[in-house]
Amino acid sequence: MAPDIIRICCFERNCNTLALLNSTIESRGLQDDINNLYKTLPPSTPSPPTTAIPSTQPAPILPTTAPLYAIITISALSIIVVVTVTIIIVGVCYHHRRRLFVHRVVQIECKSPGISPHTIVCPELSHDDTENSGSGSGKPLLVHRSIAGQINLHELIGKGRYGRVFKASYRLDDVAVKVFHTVEKASWAHEVDIYQTCLFCHPNILRFVASDSRDCGSQVELWLITEYCEFGSLYDVLSQNTFSPENMLQLAYTAVSGLDHLHTEIFGHEAKPAIVHRDLKSRNILVKRDYTCCIGDLGLALRYDRKKEQAEDPPSKKVGTKRYLAPEIIDDSISLKHFELFKRADIYSFGLILWEIVMRGEIDGE
C-alpha cells in the first residue's frame, strides 16, 4: 500500500512539511501522531536571505494609443501658429515697403504749365491734427495728373501780389487754394519746392497738400493747395480780438516754434537745410482753430546750401514788406554768403510781430 502524503498546515515558519506516514499511523489518534511527528523532525533553520538579481532584459513597452481629441488639438495649434507667423511676416514686409514708398523722392519738372500739368499730392487729409500736423514730411506720397478737377472753389478769402486765395473743398476736407498769376510761375515753383524740403513737417508750419496747374483757355492758373485755417491770419485775429496774457503767450510761442524749425538745420541721411523766411509779418502767419499759429507764404524763403556755404539763389529780386524789414535788408547790404544775417533779419521782423500781439493784450480788464 502506498504511503499517504499529508500536508500539515500551521501558522509558523516552514509549516508546510511533507510527511510520509505508514498505514499504521491510521490506527492511532491523529492528534498524537502529529505531535510525535513534530518531535522527530529536525529543527528548522532559517533560509539565507535572497537578493533580487536585476534583470538585464529591457522592460516590455506596452502599446499606447493617442486619443483622437489630442491629435485634433495639436493639429489646430500648429495651424494657428503657422497662420500667426505668416500674418506677422506679411505685416512687417508691408510696413517696410510702405516706408520706402513714403520716402521715395519725387522730382518736379515744370516744362510747360499749359501742357500735361504735373500734380503733386501729399498724404490724405485727416481731421486728427496729431497725425497730420505740419506741412507734410518732405516729398509727397502720390502723383496724379490733375487734382484741380477734384477741388471745388467756394469763396475768395484773400488777395496778394502773387494772386488770390480761395477757400475750397477737396473730398471731405476744407483746403485753401492759392492761385498764382502766370507771370509768377517762378515764385510758384520755388514755393512748391520749399514745401517739399525733406523733414519740413512741423505743427507750426502751414501744411502743404498739393500743387497743380490748370488751363483756363485764355490763361494758365498755377495752384498751391494747403490746409485751411478758418480764423485767418494773425493780423485779422488781432484786429478783432483782445487776449489774456496766457493766450498771448500761446500765440507767440507757437509762432516762434515754427520760425525756429525753419532756421534749424538737421543733419543725417535725410537732412534738412536751414531756411530763412524773408517775408515775416502778421498777415503771413495763420491761426488755427485752437489759437495756435503756423507760418505760411514761403515764396521768398531761401535754403542754406552747405556745399557752397551760402544761401541758394533767390527766384526774384523782390523783398518782403518794408514795414517789417531790417535796415540791412532795405539797403541791400547783406550778401548771400552771410546766411546768419538773414536769420537775424527774420528775428527783427518777428520782434515787430510780438509788438503787435502785446498791443492787443488785456491785463486786469484793461
228 and 207 Cβ atoms separated by less than 8 Å: no
Q: Number of structural domains, the chain?
A: 2
Nearest Cα neighbor of 187 from 299, 32, 34, 288 is: 299
* Among candidate residues 189, 209, 227, the one where a domain is terminated: 227
Each residue of 227-284: pLDDT tens digit?
A: 999 999 999 999 999 999 999 999 999 999 999 999 999 998 889 999 999 999 999 9
The sign one gets for the Cα dihedral 164, 166, 170, 173 is positive
Each residue of 81-133: pLDDT tens digit?
A: 888 988 999 888 776 665 554 434 333 333 333 333 344 444 444 444 434 44
Give the active site residue among 129, 173, 193, 279: 279
Q: Which residue has the cell 514755393?
A: 191
Helix, strand, coil distribution of the chain in percent, nearest 5: 35, 20, 45
Supply the DSSP string of 59-116, one letter for each residue. Answer: PPPPP----HHHHHHHHHHHHHHHHHHHHHHHHHHHHHHHHHHHT-------S-TTSS
Same domain, 133 and 247: no
Across 73-82, 116-125, 165-174, 342-351, least confident range: 116-125
324 and 282 Cβ atoms separated by less than 8 Å: no
Say if strands 142-144 and 119-121 run parallel, antiparallel, or are unpaired.
antiparallel
> Which of the pair, 15 or 18, is modelled with greater confidence?
15
Across 123-137, 159-173, 335-349, least confident range: 123-137
Query: Residue 76's pLDDT is what?
Result: 87
What would the grid cell of residue 148 be? 484741380
Q: Within 13 Å, how many C-alpha atoms sit on residue 23's CB side?
A: 3
Same domain, 223 and 259: no
Is there a domain that residue 270 lies in? yes
Same domain, 218 and 257: no
Query: Residue 131's pLDDT is what?
Result: 40
Each residue of 315-328: pLDDT tens digit?
A: 887 888 899 999 99
The Cβ of residue 323 has, within 10 Å, a number of other Cβ atoms equal to: 8
> Which of the pair, 329 or 56, is modelled with greater confidence?
329
Say if strands 151-159 and 302-305 run parallel, antiparallel, or are unpaired.
unpaired
Banded model confidence at residue 338, pLDDT cuts 50, 70, 90: confident
CA pair distance 72, 65, nearest whole angstrom: 14
User: Checking phi first, is residue 232 left (phi over 0); if not, alpha (psi -120 to 50) or beta?
Assistant: left
Same domain, 210 and 133: yes
Query: Residue 336's pLDDT is what?
Result: 83
Same domain, 342 and 296: yes
Query: Residue 163's pLDDT is what?
Result: 86
Q: Active site includes 173?
A: no
Residue 360: C-alpha distances to residues 21, 242, 243, 255 (Å): 140, 5, 6, 16
8 and 19 Cβ atoms separated by less than 8 Å: yes
Structural domain for 158, as ranges: 119-227
Is there a domain that residue 102 lies in? no
CA pair distance 329, 279, nearest whole angstrom: 11
Each residue of 50-66: pLDDT tens digit?
A: 555 555 555 555 455 55
Same domain, 163 and 240: no
Q: Which residue has the cell 486728427?
A: 128
CATH classification of the domain holding 159: 3.30.200.20
Q: Within 13 Å, how many C-alpha atoms sit on residue 144's CB side?
A: 15
295 and 284 Cβ atoms separated by less than 8 Å: yes
Backbone angles phi, psi at 53, to 5 degrees: -95, 120
Same domain, 201 and 254: no
* pTM confidence score: 0.62
